[in-house]
């Protein structure tokens, strides 16, 4: 890689690192895993940076790397061990405030969803991408994105309601 491409990559990382970290965190739900995921994605992006920097939306490409790596890790972990949800939620204590409890329930609920559905929700509602943009990034149809987003939101509402009696809290 030449010096100009190296500087361009460094600038990209400085400008977009926090946004990319947010995506990684929402996909894996743990700070250290998100840091590892982002680092792995940036390593892959660095190796192909000459090609990536010439794209119209290099951030979308790097986000796709993050989603793919998260899905791969989820599949590997799913195959090797099944962690009971009750154990996972018991490990994290709430501080007693409703907003924090709700956020916790949403994060737990998000990680109960299949990786693909979780990726749709993170890209659609956290990253603010349109249905068409999410479909393009994930290589799915717009209809699939819409249905996964709808089902995912419905499931998160059910989880929040069952844990906190908040039938209409999440819209």
What is the per-residue pLDDT for 46?
94
Weakest-pLDDT range from 13-27, 81-95, 114-128: 81-95
With 70 as the cut, is the pLDDT of residue 93 above it? no
What is the per-residue pLDDT for 84?
40
Average pLDDT over every residue of 132-136: 91
Average pLDDT over every residue of 41-58: 92
**Spatial separation of the C-alpha atoms in residues 78 and 90, rounded to whole Å:** 20
When divided into structural domains, the chain yields a total of 2
Q: How many CB atoms lie within 10 A of CB 9?
A: 19
The reply to whether the predicted model has a pTM over 0.85 is no
In which domain, by residue range, is 94 found?
Answer: 87-171
What is the per-residue pLDDT for 13?
94
For residues 37 and 93, membership in a common domain is answered with no
Of 152, 150, 164, 151, nearest to 105 by C-alpha is 164
Question: Between these two residues, 159 and 118, which has the higher pLDDT value?
Answer: 118
For residues 70 and 99, membership in a common domain is answered with no
- Of the residues 82, 97, 116, which one is the last residue of a structural domain? 82
Q: How many CB atoms lie within 10 A of CB 144?
A: 16
**Spatial separation of the C-alpha atoms in residues 32 and 2, rounded to whole Å:** 31
What CATH number has the domain bearing residue 60?
A: 1.10.1740
What radius of gyration, in Å, describes the C-alpha atoms of the chain? 17
């Amino acid at each position: 890689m030449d010096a100009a491409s190296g500087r361009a990559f460094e600038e990209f990382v400085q400008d977009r690192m926090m946004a990319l970290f947010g995506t990684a965190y929402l996909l894996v739900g743990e700070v250290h895993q998100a840091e590892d995921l982002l680092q792995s994605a940036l390593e892959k992006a660095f190796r192909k940076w000459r090609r990536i920097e010439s794209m119209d939306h290099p951030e979308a490409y790097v986000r796709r790397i993050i989603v793919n790596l998260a899905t791969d890790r989820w599949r590997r972990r799913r195959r090797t061990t099944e962690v009971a949800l009750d154990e996972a939620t018991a490990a994290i204590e709430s501080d007693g405030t409703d907003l924090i409890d709700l956020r916790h329930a949403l994060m737990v609920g998000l990680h109960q969803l299949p990786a693909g559905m979780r990726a749709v929700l993170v890209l659609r509602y956290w990253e603010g991408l349109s249905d068409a943009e999410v479909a393009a990034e994930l290589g799915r149809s717009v209809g699939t994105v819409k249905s996964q987003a709808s089902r995912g939101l419905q499931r998160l509402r059910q989880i929040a309601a069952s844990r906190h009696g908040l039938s209409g809290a999440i819209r």
